[in-house]
Amino acid sequence: MEKRVSSISPLYSFFMLLSLLFVSVSSSSRIQSNPTPTPWPHQFHSILVMNFSGSNEIINLWYDWTNGRNFNIIQKQLGDVTYDCEWNNGTSFVWTSKKCSRAQLEVGILVPNWLDGAKYLGQQTVDGFLCNVWEKVDFIWYYEDVVTKRPVHWVFYTGRSAHVMTFEVGAVLEDEHWQAPAHCFEGGEKEVNNSDGFTESSMEGVLRSKMVGLNKYKSPSISSF
Ligand SMILES: *[C@@H]1O[C@H](CO)[C@@H](O)[C@H](O)[C@H]1NC(C)=O
Ligand SMILES: *[C@@H]1O[C@H](CO)[C@@H](O)[C@H](O)[C@H]1NC(C)=O
Ligand SMILES: *[C@@H]1O[C@H](CO)[C@@H](O)[C@H](O)[C@H]1NC(C)=O
């Protein structure tokens, strides 16, 4: 009995070895094929902590692809709140309690798969999370949790960086909050100067324009914007 087992077992372990070899070869080839960024959910709310050259902000980001709108509510540390509301028709309103500026971009809000085509850079631990890292058109470096696939961190080429503190998939801001205030519609176009950094908040909008512009150039399917 014992003898028979021992005569079978070398053959058995040979097949074991072979199958292990096969599994390890196939799994290593799976690792080598680069992961792709998870598309953004069609609706979510995130609280972002922003750091730009040591100046801190908290942004409430309401991404709402379903309704064609995107909202950044920006609290500067011990400062004003700036509302940056972007519509898919290219119109964006940026306002505070006192001022408002309106911009017309050629592009709408970011599409859910706006990171498609990003270059995979490997894995890195950021903010204590093991992340897959991508870079897109020298514009943004994007860090996504390897396990949960949630965004953890991103950095714009300007050095402006976001730490994702919450990520509530499916959260939607009520319609009434998206309405730009009356002073956005009084007295026509208002000139806004750079001096107080007011236009800085809409920077992402401009960058987005550049970004989608490049996308458009690369893939004609986005040219509907
Ligand atoms: C914020 O940015 C500054 C300069 O870019 C850096 O020195 C500092 O460590 C950053 N702070 C945090 C909390 O990331
Ligand atoms: C785009 O949509 C917003 C929100 O409905 C509206 O206020 C704005 O006037 C529209 N812009 C254009 C160019 O139609
Ligand atoms: C913007 O700055 C220019 C020159 O510095 C000034 O003449 C103009 O009144 C300013 N506009 C606003 C809206 O503050």
161: nearest Cα among 143, 136, 188, 175: 143
Residue whose CA is closest, atom 8 of ligand 2?
A: 91
Q: Would you give the end-to-end CA distance of the chain in angstroms? A: 75
- Report CA(136)–ligand 2 centroid distance (Å): 29
Is the C-beta atom of 89 inside 6 A of ligand 2?
yes
3-state secondary structure of 149: coil
131: nearest Cα among 156, 152, 157: 152
Testing ligand 3's pocket by substitution, the residue of 95, 189, 193 carrying the most ligand atoms inside 8 A of its CB is 193
Tens digits of pLDDT across the chain (225 residues): 555 545 555 555 655 555 655 544 444 445 557 999 999 999 999 999 999 888 999 999 999 999 999 999 999 999 999 999 999 999 999 999 999 999 988 889 999 999 999 999 999 999 999 999 999 998 999 999 999 999 999 999 989 999 999 999 999 999 999 999 999 998 655 544 443 434 444 445 555 555 555 444 333 222 222
Question: Cα(171)–Cα(154) distance, rounded to whole angstroms?
Answer: 21
- Report CA(42)–ligand 2 centroid distance (Å): 20
The sign of the torsion formed by the CA atoms of 155, 115, 132, 57 equals positive
